[in-house]
Amino acid sequence: MTETAPAGPLSDLVVIEMGTLIAGPFCGQILGDFGAEVIKIEDPRTGDPMRQWGRSLPKGLSPWWPVIGRNKKSVGIDLRKPEGQALARALISKADVLIENFRPGAMEKWGMSYEALSAINPRLIMARVSGFGQTGPYAQRAGYGLIGEAMGGLRHVTGEPDRPPARAGISIGDSLAAMHAVMGITMALHHRERTGQGQVIDAALYESVLGVMENLITEYDITGYTRERSGSVLPGIAPSNAYPCRNGQMILIGGNGDNVYARLTEAMGRPDLKTDPKFVDHASRGVNQTELDGIIAAWTSTHDLGDLLALLEAKGVPCSRVYRAPDMLEDPQFAARDSIVTVDHGVFGPIRMQNAFPKLSATPGRVRWPGPALGEHTDAVLAERAGLSSARLKDLRAAGVL
């Protein structure tokens, strides 16, 4: 990635990011990946807690921050002080988008309701990310991602049926809320292009999870069936599961379509499974799912993972190893598409992280720099966008505003 790369599709946008942790900042990360100038306002003393989150802190820094803070400018402003609020309003008055994920009411308390902000910037698009949305009886409740995952229905269907609900292993609820906020922002930008008017995006964590829950509500409404935890399978969709290999590894096989299933039986050397009445079509395979999975597992357990992958790929059967970070770094598909890029970090040196997705043919996103140091851009941004002199910056810093 060089500086001669084409400008991102959002390179004409100025985004102010307020808030912390994942839901709001991941929204800012995506916009920054595609060229927006993202100005992140942080507490000048502590910064975003993500700077200290993670299983370990090599060199005293979080490996999480370089990713979620990438392509952003860090400006340290104390929003609890009236002078800090005035500075934030000055920045917002010239911005295209404002992202915030405080508990509903915080922005209003600071004199930054949408009504107040749109009065000085009618074109402003304000993305508000919260646990339960800006309205309703739960609006004031604290709502982290796991609460949205539970209320949206994801936790109940995740895990083994004889165990408590499991989590995905990542903060999927927060990330879904951020992605819905990005979708809302791009839709609002399209509306603004036609009308000149901004608007509010109200992205609730629980609704962002609910939005990807497929037919969970409708199926219950029509049939009375409540979807339950089913482990590594989807009930009635077979074969589609993780199966053991001889060398102790696992292989995922998706062979539930009739044509794909026929190719799987050929690979297994079991043409009888294609015509067996218990497995002859999608419906019958769903009814006899457990038996079919047992037959396939008995077959896969006699082969090494590598041999199975080669055989099934040759037969056109969807399959995969269960990837971990080392597998991704060594895989030729990741390398061919630059799915993982190397970025220079001031403390860690060259570090690798996921690239910007999706890929655009003319104006692709890119990682321009990793998460910045706390307040790294305070003086430059406030001088350029708020017209502050060096003397005024010095006074505000002495007063603890910066």
Report the catalytic residues: 174
β-partners of residue 319 are: 253
Greatest CA separation for the chain? 84
Residue 393 tokens, joined: 């910056």
Residue 342 backbone phi and psi in degrees, to 5: -105, 130
In the numeric block, which tokens belong to residue 358?
Answer: 């999706």
Interatomic CA distance for residues 200 and 109, integer angstroms: 18
Contact 364, 7 (CB under 8 A): no
Structure tokens at 74: 């860090």
Round to whole Å and give the CA distance between 281 and 278: 8
Q: Is 242 helix (H, G, I), strand (E, B) or coil?
A: strand
Distance spanning both ends of the chain, measured CA to CA: 33
C-alpha dist (Å) from residue 181 to 76, 233, 272: 24, 30, 50
Task: Provide CB contacts within 8 A for 266, sequence distance 6+.
Answer: 315
Peptide bond into 358 cis (omega under 30): yes
Alpha-carbon span 264 to 254, nearest angstrom: 9
Report the alpha-carbon distance of residue 401 to residue 77 in Å, rounded.
6
Q: Are 17 and 68 in contact (CB under 8 A)?
A: no
CA 129 to chain centre: 13
Q: What angle do CA 257, 263, 266 make, to 5 degrees?
A: 140
Whether residue 68 contacts residue 50, with contact meaning beta carbons closer than 8 Å, is answered with: yes
The DSSP-derived string for 373-396 is PTTTTHHHHHHHHH---HHHHHHH
